[in-house]
Amino acid sequence: MPVWFAKSRAISHHLNRKVGFMGILHHKFWTSSCSRHPSSLSSIVIPAGIHEDHPTPHVFPFNSSITTRFSLRRFKSTKAASQLEQLYSTDDDDHDTSQALDFPGGKVTYIPEMRFLSESNGKRVPCYRVLDDNGEIIRGSDYEQLSEEFAVKIYSNMVSLQMMDTVFYEAQRQGRISFYLTSTGEEAINIASAAALSTDDIILPQYREPGILLWRGFTIQEFANQCFGNKDDYGKGRQMPIHYGSKKHNFVTVSSPIATQLPQAVGIAYSLKMDKKDSCVVTYTGDGGTSEGDFHAALNFAAVTEAPVVFICRNNGWAISTHISEQFRSDGIVVRGRAYGIRSIRVDGNDALAVYSAIHAAREMAISMQRPVLVEALSYRAGHHSTSDDSTKYRPVDEIDYWKKERNPVNRFRKWVERNGWWSEEKESELRSSIKKQLLQVIQVAEKTEKPPLKYLFSDVYDIPPPNLCEQEKQLRETIYAHPQDYPSDVPL
């Protein structure tokens, strides 16, 4: 294995220099790697603009026998490792290959020079993008085509999420709910990634992904019920607002502790693999979550078990008030995938078409090749971290305004939809008016709906409640009866 890792790094760097990262990920490449005719050649058109060394499209031939070996997930013996070492021997490897350590995973060649691996490759990993800031397709872009109906649905959901965040945030400021957290500036990551998945795929979110639920059919009324913690809330009022969950929609309930969902996602993905399911697990985290040990444990766990899981990191520059420059010295998150043997890509998180295409490809890899994939989506948290935060205390207001106006993902995608003749100002006005009316209505309904009974504070953990829990419930009821003025009157006892 050490030999393979050393060689694969050189191979990946060489291919990246020649064809660009997206050329390696191109669907035709992976299809050719499964060819039954080793002698055949597969030609891949590498789009313009993918790599700075190639401004115009060109064709790069791949020998199928080479790509078949290149796409091997794991070597079962040192013989396989030896074959690959011979196949990928380069001219600069002039050391004596007969002098090698037969180490578990494959032979490790000795060299007389003392070589330290560089802390970086010198250049930053490029970012995959399809739409420019004006919503125009970048010439030669490689992306998944969208129908009018599908594109309009994506845009409508992005607007719905944007408006839901605005209204619910204001409701918190009015004291009607206790807490809220928006996805402002990250609507494309939410909706476009959801659109690229199957409803059978299991989602383990962080807390800034309500758009996945929205896309899957979770109603605005259901969102409101959870935030207001009424009796129709599926969590029975026991969770903070925005801690959504839905078994119906394969959306595991949000958990406040950072990054705990990541190793759990790998375990679920491994179970799907064992059951031979045609689906995968998709889990989300922010850049701050990658500083947790669970992130590293999850990536290594996923790589070793070859679990069909897609890790999506929303790198929005800030972990609450901690800037990414104070979190790590690596080139973002994408480079960490290679360290654990995981295929990775960096994508413009404010480009809905790029996000959709990247997640679509990542999902296909995870399922067809039974392996993990890491996606780093570069974006910006245009809102405060939550209603408990004032981000103007640690970042410039003009920086926030720039991202809200100039790099707004909703506006960018709208320009593209309009340019295709699928949208108009009249449709925009009708949509926003309808959503606003619906939001005001669901808030009124959720606010007036009765709270869950007191007994739910003590249920759903034990089949038979232990004596200490029964005693706690008894003491609470006695205290409420003795001091009714100190407790909310709308909670049924």
Q: Report the CATH number at residue 375.
A: 3.40.50.970
**Structural domain contains residue 259:** yes
Assess whether 337 and 374 both reside in one domain.
Answer: yes
The phi-psi region of residue 251 (left if phi > 0; otherwise alpha if psi is between -120 and 50; otherwise beta) is beta
Assess whether 202 and 166 both reside in one domain.
Answer: yes
Assess whether 301 and 324 both reside in one domain.
Answer: yes
Q: Please identify which of the residues 26, 54, 243, 385 carries the catalytic annotation.
A: 385
Distance CA 347, CA 142 (A): 13
Is 425 a residue of the active site? no
**Structural domain contains residue 121:** no
**Structural domain contains residue 256:** yes
CA 192 to chain CA centroid, Å, is 11
Assess whether 430 and 470 both reside in one domain.
Answer: no
**Structural domain contains residue 283:** yes
**Structural domain contains residue 93:** no
Assess whether 375 and 471 both reside in one domain.
Answer: no
Assess whether 160 and 302 both reside in one domain.
Answer: yes
Assess whether 244 and 269 both reside in one domain.
Answer: yes
pLDDT by position in tens, the chain (length 493): 444 444 444 444 444 444 444 443 444 333 333 333 333 333 333 333 333 333 333 333 333 333 333 333 433 333 334 444 444 344 445 566 678 898 988 889 999 899 998 888 889 999 999 999 999 999 999 999 999 999 999 999 999 999 999 999 999 999 999 999 999 999 999 999 999 999 999 999 999 999 999 999 999 999 999 999 999 999 999 999 999 999 999 999 999 999 999 999 999 999 999 999 999 999 999 999 999 999 999 999 999 999 999 999 999 999 999 999 999 999 999 999 999 999 999 999 999 999 999 999 999 999 999 999 999 999 999 999 999 999 999 999 999 999 999 999 999 999 999 999 999 999 999 999 999 999 999 999 999 999 999 999 999 999 999 999 999 999 999 999 999 999 988 899 9
Is 483 a residue of the active site? no
**Structural domain contains residue 274:** yes
Task: Please name the residues in contact with 370: beta carbons below 8 A apart, sequence gap of 6 or more.
Answer: 73, 273, 306, 307, 308
CA atoms within 13 A on the CB side of 379: 33
Assess whether 160 and 301 both reside in one domain.
Answer: yes
E strand map for 105-198 = 106-109
Assess whether 442 and 458 both reside in one domain.
Answer: no
Grouping H, G, I as helix, E, B as strand and the rest as coil, residue 307 is coil
Contact predicate 188/209, CB 8 Å: no
Assess whether 319 and 465 both reside in one domain.
Answer: no
Contact predicate 171/302, CB 8 Å: no
Distance CA 216, CA 207 (A): 16
Contact predicate 134/415, CB 8 Å: yes
Burial class (CB in 10 A: 0-12, 13-18, 19+), 99: exposed
**Structural domain contains residue 206:** yes
Assess whether 322 and 466 both reside in one domain.
Answer: no
Q: Please identify which of the residues 279, 344, 386, 391 carries the catalytic annotation.
A: 386
Q: Please identify which of the residues 256, 271, 429, 433 carries the catalytic annotation.
A: 256
Is 170 a residue of the active site? yes
Is 256 a residue of the active site? yes
Domain span at 458: 454-483
Task: Please name the residues in contact with 16: beta carbons below 8 A apart, sequence gap of 6 or more.
Answer: 24, 51
Number of domains, the chain: 2
Q: Please identify which of the residues 136, 148, 170, 471 carries the catalytic annotation.
A: 170
**Structural domain contains residue 426:** yes
Assess whether 407 and 477 both reside in one domain.
Answer: no
